[in-house]
């Protein structure tokens, strides 16, 4: 029986849930699985249902490493990558003293992707499979709207160098544009890039009335949901300002659901937000949300706000909305905007323009009949973003990597 080591350094946001999906994709009758992560990650509630099926390994971090991991300055991000690689290298050396590891999986390889390209794999000749979510060097070549990256050329070279590593067997990506870019390259190493549809969490059905009653949402309003890790790049302040102007229909309400950063917490204490909360037009659901609560939020809402600012990567929130019949109000930037244009699956908005936001909210408030087609397009565009497809692709990738190495 093979032994597979899964490495993950992040314990916030979607990381624990994505890690669980990766774990569940592995044939556990054919492999022993070790999950290595921080104390908060290996004890996270997302892993409760599968806790007796893997061996946890807590990664111990020094104060210097903790500081490096929390430094998101321009130079700090570079140092962070090498810090993560060094942490994985140290853990690897510790683990192989007592166990033979047949394969490594890195569910969020972007934490150290460039460092792995520069310094090589820390896992020796052991085969590994990674998942990339934030690669951006290719955007200008595939029609994704994003700020021009001065380091795009360097990142492209590093990406190809990474793919040439013999021990890297498969690099999965949730970005369809990266897969499209890779398919049109002639170099053999780009065949390692495989598309992995970001899975939508299965929601237990709840009636609209029940869902709204549980959240105190009136039946006759149009509810706009903002869900996930709530930060200013989600365009929340612009949405709240638009909600407060006289031109915005009073039947429109907003639900902010998820963990809040310091800027959003400060925003919610502002006079504008306080007034909207007092008038029952702004509802706040704070903290990490279990799946049962996500279902209440989705079924109580009419549309999902994805009017993000300078956010260029793939969005699981877009998938969640699309597969559950919610309209998506989408930025024109990044992969979100790209998919919205290609599939006609979102209502485009300029999140920096108050008038643009108000125009979209007015369309939703009056029940614009053209919006039904947008929702149908979204369902079709993301029809393969199921758990079954995710499990199949990850499972096949792990088996392919094992077969290639005779594991």
**What is the distance between the alpha carbons of residues 157 and 57, in angstroms, rounded to a whole number?**
34
Structural tokens at position 281: 């037009």
Residues 83 and 115 in one domain: yes
- H or E element, residue 25: helix 15-25
Instruction: Calculate the CA dihedral of residues 24, 297, 304, 235 and round it to 10 degrees.
Output: -100
Task: Tell whether 193 and 328 lie within a shared domain.
Answer: no
Per the structure, the count of domains in the chain is: 2
∠ at Cα 243 (239, 246), nearest 5°? Answer: 140
How much is the average pLDDT of 231-258?
97
Predicted confidence (pLDDT) per residue in 354-405, tens digit: 999 999 999 999 999 999 999 999 999 999 999 999 999 999 999 988 776 5
Q: What is the CATH number of the domain that holds 284?
A: 3.40.50.2000
pTM score: 0.92
Asked whether residue 220 falls in the same domain as residue 244, the answer is yes
Closest CA to 259 of 251, 247, 268, 272: 268
One domain for residues 361 and 347: yes
If asked whether residues 58 and 185 sit together in one domain, one would say yes
**pLDDT tops 80 at residue 303:** yes
What span, in angstroms and rounded, lies between the C-alpha atoms of 229 and 315?
A: 12
269 and 228 fall within a common domain? yes
Token pair listed for 232: 């200013």
Joined together, the tokens standing for residue 15 give 């990381």
Neighbours of 2 (CB within 10 A): 16
- Co-location of 186 and 234 in the same domain: no
Phi, psi torsion values for 329, nearest 5 degrees: -90, 110
Q: How buried is 147 (Cβ within 10 angstroms: 0-12 exposed, 13-18 middle, 19+ buried)? A: exposed
Task: Look at strands 103-106 and 2-7 and give their pairing.
Answer: parallel
193 and 241 together in one domain: no
Which range marks the domain in which residue 86 is found? 2-199+386-404
Report DSSP letters for 142-176, one per residue: HT---PPPTTHHHHHHHHHHHHT-TTEEEEEES-H
Q: Are residues 394 and 334 in the same domain?
A: no
Rounded to the nearest angstrom, the gap between the alpha carbon of residue 258 and the centroid of all alpha carbons in its chain is: 14
CB 56 within 8 A of CB 48: no
Q: Rounded mean pLDDT of the chain?
A: 95
Whether residues 156 and 290 share a domain: the answer is no
Is the pLDDT confidence value at 406 over 60? no
Q: Is residue 171 located within the same domain as residue 251? A: no
> Residue 315: is its pLDDT beyond 70?
yes
3-state secondary structure of 230: strand
| Across 50-65, average pLDDT | 96
pLDDT tens digits along 159-211: 999 999 999 999 999 999 999 999 999 999 999 999 999 998 778 889 999 99
Sign of CA dihedral 242, 246, 251, 256: positive
Q: What is the mean pLDDT of residues 225-229?
A: 95
Res. 407: pLDDT tops 50:
no
pLDDT digits (tens, 9 = 90+) for 83-139: 999 999 999 999 999 999 999 999 999 999 999 999 999 999 999 999 999 999 999
Each as own residue / partner, the long-range contacts of residues 292-295 (CB below 8 Å, 24 or more positions apart, any chain) are 292/204, 293/257, 294/201, 294/203, 294/227, 294/320, 295/203, 295/204, 295/205, 295/206, 295/211
For residue 80, give both structure tokens: 């962070």
Least confident of 6-15, 99-108, 248-257: 6-15
Structural tokens at position 210: 């029940």
Non-local (6+) Cβ contacts of 101 within 8 A are 3, 4, 5, 34, 92, 95, 123, 126
Q: Are 363 and 342 in contact (CB under 8 A)?
A: no
Judged by DSSP in three states, 276 sits in: helix
- List alpha helices for 262-370, DSSP H: 262-268, 271-278, 291-300, 316-323, 334-343, 354-366
Same domain, 372 and 330: yes
Q: Which residue has the tokens 């990597």?
A: 401
Percent of the chain with pLDDT over 70: 99
322-360 pLDDT, tens per residue? 999 999 999 999 999 999 999 999 999 999 999 999 999
Surface-to-core class of residue 389, CB atoms within 10 Å of its CB (0-12 exposed, 13-18 middle, 19+ buried): middle
Residues near 68 by beta carbon (within 8 Å), at least 6 away in sequence: 76, 79, 80, 83
């Amino acid at each position: 029986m093979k032994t597979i080591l899964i490495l993950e350094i992040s314990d916030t946001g979607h990381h624990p849930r994505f890690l669980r999906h990766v774990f569940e994709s592995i044939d556990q009758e054919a492999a022993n699985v070790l999950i290595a992560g921080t104390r908060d990650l290996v004890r996270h509630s997302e892993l409760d249902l599968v806790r007796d099926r893997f061996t946890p390994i807590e990664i111990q971090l020094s104060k210097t490493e903790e500081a490096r991991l929390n430094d998101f300055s321009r130079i700090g991000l570079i140092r962070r990558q090498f810090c993560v690689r060094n942490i994985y290298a140290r853990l690897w050396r510790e683990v192989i003293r007592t166990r033979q590891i047949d394969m490594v999986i890195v569910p969020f390889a972007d934490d150290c992707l460039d460092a792995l390209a520069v310094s090589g794999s820390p896992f020796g000749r052991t085969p590994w499979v990674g998942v990339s979510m934030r690669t951006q060097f290719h955007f200008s070549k595939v029609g994704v709207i994003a700020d021009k990256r001065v380091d795009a050329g360097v990142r492209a070279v590093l990406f190809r160098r990474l793919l040439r590593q013999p021990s890297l067997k498969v690099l999965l990506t949730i970005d369809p544009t990266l897969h499209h870019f890779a398919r049109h390259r002639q170099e053999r190493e780009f065949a390692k890039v495989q598309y992995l549809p970001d899975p939508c969490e299965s929601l237990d059905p709840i009636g609209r009335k029940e869902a709204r009653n549980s959240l105190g949402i009136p039946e006759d309003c149009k509810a706009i949901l903002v869900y996930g890790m709530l930060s200013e790049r989600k365009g929340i302040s612009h949405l709240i300002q638009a909600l407060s102007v006289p031109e915005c229909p009073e039947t429109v309400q907003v639900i902010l659901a998820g963990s809040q950063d310091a800027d959003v917490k400060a925003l919610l204490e502002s006079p504008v937000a306080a007034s909207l909360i007092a008038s029952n037009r702004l509802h706040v659901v704070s903290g990490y949300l279990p799946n049962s609560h996500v279902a209440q939020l989705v079924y109580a809402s009419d549309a999902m706000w994805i009017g993000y600012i300078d956010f260029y990567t793939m969005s699981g929130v877009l998938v969640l909305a699309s597969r559950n019949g919610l309209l998506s109000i989408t930025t024109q930037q990044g992969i979100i905007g790209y998919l919205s244009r290609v599939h006609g699956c979102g209502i485009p908005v300029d999140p920096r323009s108050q008038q643009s936001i108000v125009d979209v909210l007015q369309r939703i408030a009056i029940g614009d009949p053209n919006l039904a087609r947008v929702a149908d397009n979204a369902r079709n565009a993301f029809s393969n973003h199921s758990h079954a497809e995710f499990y199949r692709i990850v499972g096949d990738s792990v088996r392919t990597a094992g077969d290639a190495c005779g594991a």
